[in-house]
Amino acid sequence: MSATPMVNDHHTHHFDGSKNVFGFWIYIMTDCILFATLFAVYAVLHSHTYGGPHGKELFSLPFVLTETMILLTSSFSYGLAMLARNTGNKNIVIGWLWLTFFLGLSFISMEIYEFHAMYVEGNTWATSAFLSSFFTLVSTHGLHVSMGLIWMLTLIYQINKHGITAVTKTKLTCLGLFWHFLDIVWIFVFSVVYLMGAI
């Protein structure tokens, strides 16, 4: 595949990550379809509040804007990790990954705080069809982000141990696709759920 010679590491000899990355890309495309179905369900059910609160009464736009900015910044810092990987300096890569991790963790913490606050006020997934679809859609995204965080921790460990090899480079690329993809899903979550809900 590559015009440049691979790193002379017998563990990673003849390692060709292109199929791994393409396979992962296909997985992400199927994930797109999963989220599309959840968005469709939300779009159909969002007005079925069963006498409960509408989105307008529940959502705080400054709170969601903060969440959005945190996730967006984490996507950017992951991009910087991807660029640093080309320099071959593993400490810089790991540094950006830690920053990305903590930004992602802040995002998840804010989401859990929001869900908990809604739950305490009695607005649970059992309240109405609107809230069922809301919690399903938003927490599926949150679950993906949480998985990405666990993956990021394992990757930090691997890069720390093995350095930047063809294998860890490919893993970085896959997680990068995943992380940027989750940011794209979030664009539609904040636009469709929070902003259109607040109009």
Partner 1 sequence: MAKHEPEFDVDTGATYGTHKSYAIGFILSVVLTLISFYLVGSGAFSKLHLYIAVGVLALAQLFVQLVFFLHLSTHSKATWNLLSFLFALIMVLIFVLGTLWIMYHLYENMGMNAMSM
CA dist., res. 104 & res. 145, Å (int):
7
> Tokens 């607005």 correspond to what residue?
123
Write the binding mask 38 to 57 for partner 1: x where contact by CB under 8 A, - elsewhere: -xxx-xx--xx---------
Q: Is 184 in the site for partner 1 (CB under 8 A)?
A: yes
Write the binding mask 54 to 83 for partner 1: x where contact by CB under 8 A, - elsewhere: -------x--xx--xx--xx-xx--xx-xx
- Enter the tokens of residue 58: 């529940």
Phi–psi pair at 174, nearest 5 degrees: -60, -50
Alpha carbons within 13 angstroms on the beta-carbon side of residue 79 total 9
- Enter the tokens of residue 29: 């495309």
Among residues 98, 109, 107, 104, which one has the least CA distance to residue 178? 104
**What residues from 1 to 40 belong to the interface with partner 1 (CB under 8 A)?**
1-4, 7, 17-18, 20-22, 25-26, 29-30, 32-33, 36-37, 39-40
Collapsing DSSP to helix, strand or coil, 2 comes out as coil
Which residues bind to partner 1, rule: CB under 8 A?
1-4, 7, 17-18, 20-22, 25-26, 29-30, 32-33, 36-37, 39-41, 43-44, 47-48, 61, 64-65, 68-69, 72-73, 75-76, 79-80, 82-83, 86-88, 166, 169-170, 173, 177, 180-181, 183-184, 187-188, 190-192, 195-196, 198-199
